[in-house]
């Protein structure tokens, strides 16, 4: 599973760079509690329209990303599983005069121990060793993002989520995960968990709709020979997005889910935090399509 994002996979909260999404449906309150899909798959593309950099004279930039991830679960004992996987993601950025990467890529694996109920991970420790780079795959682009979380039942309708995530390339090496899941009814739930919050409506077994607000990003090592600013050569950059949107998921063709979404990206930020330099863009709309499968 990819984990270029500094906010990695937590229960009920899919992150783009993080690979397999985990979105609970009606099985969260009914169905086979011991069910655990063994194979998880994601293919996703997203386009963000052009927007100007906040600094004058740096021009406009858009972004296009594509990702793939596959994971497999091996039962350890009871509802405890070992999950392994691989993934790749690439984001290409439009030309501009800003001294930022032309692309960011991640090629990584997953090693996780997780507790699975109703086919969703309620607790896990995950490691995502891999290369997080611009063009050059080398030792200095290797990192091991990690995350640890647990879902705590409070009542039959309310669950707490606590945990942490981290990586050497992040501006803050450890980031908290916290919040709550409220099952408002059999069809409606609120997933109020940092860094991604959603209001979800399960219209039927085939259709799910959600409104989403999220912070998203990851840490990378850029190339050794950028065109400008020698301070940024071989530097670490944390790429961040802050956005809201809506999405629809169609699940008729099991085990495949078809997802389409759109919204507004308020800000994209290239933060070279180790040298004290950053470049922010203004807002722009985005669209997203994905195919997910659990079987």
pLDDT in tens, 65-106: 999 999 999 999 999 999 999 999 999 999 999 999 999 999
Instruction: Please give the pLDDT value at position 16.
Output: 27
- List domains and CATH numbers for the chain: 16-294 (2.40.128)
Instruction: Please give the pLDDT value at position 12.
Output: 33
User: Is the bond preceding residue 195 a cis peptide, omega within 30 degrees?
Assistant: yes
Instruction: Please give the pLDDT value at position 227.
Output: 58
Distance of alpha carbon 76 from the chain centroid: 26
Q: What percent of the chain has pLDDT over 90?
A: 80
As given in the structure block, the two tokens for residue 197 are 């919050």
Alpha helices in the chain (DSSP H): none
pLDDT tens for 146-203 read 999 999 999 999 999 999 999 999 999 999 999 999 999 999 999 999 989 999 999 9
pTM over 0.85: yes
Instruction: Please state the rounded mean pLDDT for residues 113-141.
Output: 95
What are residue 230's phi and psi, to 5 degrees?
Answer: -60, -20
- Whether 122 and 13 have beta carbons less than 8 Å apart is answered as no
What is the 8-class DSSP label of residue 170?
Answer: S
Helix, strand, or coil (residue 58): coil
Instruction: Please state the rounded mean pLDDT for residues 121-139.
Output: 96
Distance of alpha carbon 267 from the chain centroid: 17
- Whether 60 and 49 have beta carbons less than 8 Å apart is answered as no
Instruction: Please give the pLDDT value at position 5.
Output: 31
Distance in angstroms (rounded) separating the CA atoms of residues 111 and 102: 30
> Range with the lowest mean pLDDT among 84-93, 116-125, 199-208, 260-269?
116-125
Would the pLDDT of 11 be above 90?
Answer: no
At 215, which helix (H) or strand (E)? strand 207-221
Instruction: Please give the pLDDT value at position 192.
Output: 94
Would the pLDDT of 25 be above 90?
Answer: no
Instruction: Please give the pLDDT value at position 30.
Output: 45
pLDDT tens for 27-70 read 344 457 788 999 999 999 999 999 999 998 899 999 999 999 99
Would the pLDDT of 21 be above 70?
Answer: no
Average pLDDT over all residues of the chain: 88
């Amino acid at each position: 599973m990819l984990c270029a994002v500094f906010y990695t996979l937590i229960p009920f909260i899919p992150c783009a760079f993080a690979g397999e999404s985990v979105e609970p449906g009606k099985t969260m309150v009914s169905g086979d509690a011991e069910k655990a899909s063994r194979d998880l798959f994601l293919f996703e593309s997203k386009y963000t329209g052009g927007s100007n950099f906040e600094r004058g004279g740096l021009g406009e930039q858009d972004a296009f990303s594509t990702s793939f991830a596959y994971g497999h679960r091996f039962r350890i004992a009871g509802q405890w599983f070992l999950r392994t996987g691989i993934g790749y993601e690439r984001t290409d950025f439009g030309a501009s005069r800003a001294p930022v990467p032309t692309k960011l890529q991640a090629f990584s694996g997953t090693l996780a121990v997780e507790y699975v109920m109703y086919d969703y991970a309620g607790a896990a420790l995950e490691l995502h060793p891999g290369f997080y780079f611009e063009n050059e795959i080398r030792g200095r682009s290797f990192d091991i993002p990690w995350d640890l979380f647990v879902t705590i039942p409070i009542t039959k309708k309310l669950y707490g989520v606590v945990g942490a995530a981290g990586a050497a390339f992040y501006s803050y090496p450890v980031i908290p995960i916290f919040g709550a899941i409220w099952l408002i009814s059999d069809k409606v739930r609120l997933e109020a968990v940092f860094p991604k919050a959603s209001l979800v409506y399960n219209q039927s077994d085939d259709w799910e709709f959600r409104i989403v607000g999220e912070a998203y990003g990851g840490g990378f090592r850029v190339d050794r020979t950028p065109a400008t600013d020698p301070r940024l050569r071989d530097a670490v950059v944390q790429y961040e997005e802050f956005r809201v949107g809506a999405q629809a998921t169609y699940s008729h063709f099991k085990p495949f889910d078809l997802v389409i979404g759109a919204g507004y990206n308020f800000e994209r930020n290239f933060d070279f935090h180790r040298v004290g330099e950053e470049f922010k863009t203004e807002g722009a709309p985005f669209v997203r399509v994905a195919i997910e499968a659990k079987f």
